Every structure is written in structure tokens, then in C-alpha cells.
Amino acid sequence: MQIKITSAVGTGPTPLGAFDAALRNAGVENYNLIPLSSVIPPQAVLEKTRFSTPPSEYGHRLYVVMAQETATRVGEEAWAGLGWTQEPETGRGLFVELHGTSRRAVECAIESTLDSMKEARPYEYGKNESQLSGAVCEGDPVCSLVIAIYGSEGWET
């Protein structure tokens, strides 16, 4: 299984407009997002990449782990980040999704949360990794997001 990790920033006239712009910039705007908990299945391969919705998947379900943050006041920062760790041999692992108003706060939260989760489980996880996205509000609302894309599914029954 391949899990794609992408990030983006968007600006819009409202917080929801900024979120939609960030989804467009991440290439996932035409999906119905289904949030997952933070478990990475065995044999998963993670890839940091730009994502683009194939036209044939418009409206499909997209299974994701996502972090997002919005800033609405001038000078306010919006930071989102995903952190992860995997067992080197099996590929199974954990994601954490965190957000805040400073890069440093999100980085520290990712590290401490992953460390805590690793200590509570009987597995031999590897090093912590992460991807962050950030923006500063300069007028209109901004949204930062990072998404781990597990896969899509149509609505056919």
C-alpha cells in the first residue's frame, strides 16, 4: 500500500474559503474526505508528493489523515503538521496530526506525541518523521494543511 503525503496553503474570503483553496492547492478538492485514525497498516510505503484528483474520481471518497489550521487575524500564523513513525521491517506505524499558531509548537507537539505513543506500544518503531505547512494571515483568512492520502473509493454498490 502506498500512502501519499501532501501539504498546501490557501487563502479565501472566509475560513471555509481558505480551507477550500488549500484543498485545491493540495490537489484533493473534488473528493469527499473521510478522516481516519492514525494507524499506518503493515507494508505501507509513504511518499511525500503533490497529488492531483483524476477526473474519473470526482466525488469519490478519499480516506485521509489530515491536520489543518486556520488564521483569520492579520499577523496570526496557521501551522499544520503530520508526524509519523514506522517499524523498519513491517512498515506498520503511527501518524499524529497536530496544528497550532507556531511552527515550533507544532514540531514539539509532534515529537512528544509520537514518543508517548511509541512508549505505550510493544513495537520497535523507527525514527520520527514529519511534514509541516504554515502561513501568516495578511488580510483574508489563511489555511494550512497536511494530508496523508490512503486511497479513494467510488460510490458504486
Q: CATH number of the domain that 11 lies in?
A: 3.50.20.10
Q: Determine the Cα–Cα distance for residues 107 and 11; give it in Å rounded to an integer.
A: 23
User: What is the reported pTM?
Assistant: 0.92
- For position 92, what pLDDT does the model report? 96
Q: Residue 51: what are its φ and ψ, rounded to 5°?
A: -120, 150
How many independent structural domains does the chain possess?
Answer: 1
What confidence tens digit (pLDDT) does each residue in 101-148 have?
Answer: 999 999 999 999 999 999 999 999 999 999 999 999 999 999 999 999
Share of the chain above pLDDT 90, in %: 91
Range of the domain at 142: 2-153
Q: Determine the Cα–Cα distance for residues 18 and 5; give it in Å rounded to an integer.
A: 20
What confidence tens digit (pLDDT) does each residue in 2-28 have?
Answer: 999 999 999 999 999 999 999 999 999
